[in-house]
Amino acid sequence: MVTSASENFLVAEAQLILEQSRKEKAERTKTLGEPIELTGKALAIEVHDGVAWVAENTNVIRKLDLETGKTLQLYKGHTGPVTSLAFCDRVPSSGDQALLISGSWDNSIKIWDTATKQLLSSTPNAHADFVKSFHVLQPLRLLISGSSDKIVRFWDLSDPTASEPLKSLGSISSHTRPVECLDGEARSATSAILYTGDTMGVIKVWDLKLDAGPAPRWTATLLKSINHHRTRINELRYGGGHLWTASADDTAQILPQPEAGPTPKPLAHPVAVRALLPLALTDLGEPYLLTAAGDVLRTFDVSEPDAPQLLSQVDAHWHDITAIRLWTRRTVGDDGKTRVAPWIVTTSLDRTIRKWRLTDLLEPPTLPVVPVVEVEAQKPVPAGSELTEEEERELAELMDD
């Protein structure tokens, strides 16, 4: 019979093995991807015009130059790790994307002027628990937020530069687990489709309608639930007639929308898929899908979504990758000509941002993939806690400085 003491010893030994493995890998990969060192762990990132906006577990948002790695601005004001970033127009329908929206474990939503770094407004207690995700429907001047409180909320962006807290325009309370990710698109000036994914692996599809009147409200009608994943949805993207999902059940999926016929076979990975980037949904418009599972970045050809092909895998970081973004990199040659090339930007719990030329990911160097040992430590959930074992591990991981 295995005693509690011996179980603890085995877990401690496994943790030491894991730490040693990561230490060795950190040395092997220390120069890969032109690494930019961060002081904190990047929990979210957005890339605009050669600039990265990084949400850190150190309670700040960092604006940095991707070419030099230099920090250009620090946005301070949150009192907990910053988990969510989005942009909206200062001038409606202008596409200027001049205002930054941030969400945090302090349950608040803040709006910042990116030109002056000024805090324009703060909405305290926007949720009863951590703010986890954002989606902006710019044509509708609507911000949608998801939270660990299991609620999806709608916020008015008609006057985003106002100093008052955001005005609530409705909510969804159908999920039974924390809402991890959101995506959707406007269908008209008064309607939209919305996808919401939770930590139970449930994705819900909603028809949103604006109820006009002296007190406008958005109402959500459930169209269907998608239950193809066994556990947590880490990221989802919608567009081009497909839903792209990354899950902690070690798979990514590409689902036609609306679904017709049998469910396509999922893309199996050796560990949880934490992030994905369908390049078909970017300005590049190429039929490639990038996924992050553990510390490995994989590239798939999805020109035939029913039969995706793995093109490459790169040992990109020495700890879990948390986000993948496209960067249109512009460089000026000795001849004075500006050259444009697609690059991929990744962030990780190893406290780095790394940059990858897309052509190199499609034909990577021959550095072998050496998997980090995965440890499944059995950690009891405290009485009264609604965190799963996986969520407890995530909390400890993110708070470990």
Q: What gap in Å lies between CA 393 and CA 11, rounded to an integer? A: 14
Mean pLDDT of the chain: 89
* Side chain identity at residue 106, one-letter code: D
Query: Residue ranges of the domains in the chain?
Result: 4-399
Q: Which of 265, 271, 329, 269 is nearest to 302 (CA)?
A: 265
Q: Which DSSP helix (H) or strand (E) runs through 8?
A: helix 4-28
Which pLDDT score is estimated for 207? 99
Burial (0-12, 13-18, 19+ Cβ within 10 Å), 144: buried
CA pair distance 144, 7, nearest whole angstrom: 44
Considering the four listed CATH numbers 3.30.70.20, 2.60.40.420, 2.40.110.10, 2.130.10.10, the one that applies to the domain covering 4-399 is 2.130.10.10
Nearest one of 355, 349, 253 to 306, comparing CA atoms: 253
Give the Cα separation of 271 and 80 in Å (integer).
28
What pLDDT does residue 259 have?
Answer: 84
Q: What is the mean pLDDT of residues 269-289?
A: 97
Residue 123 and residue 109 in contact, taking contact as beta carbons nearer than 8 Å? yes
- 290 vs 300: CA distance, rounded Å: 6
Question: Per residue in 327-373, pLDDT tens?
Answer: 999 988 888 889 999 999 999 999 999 999 999 998 865 555 555 44
Which amino acid is present at 99? L
Record the pTM.
Answer: 0.87
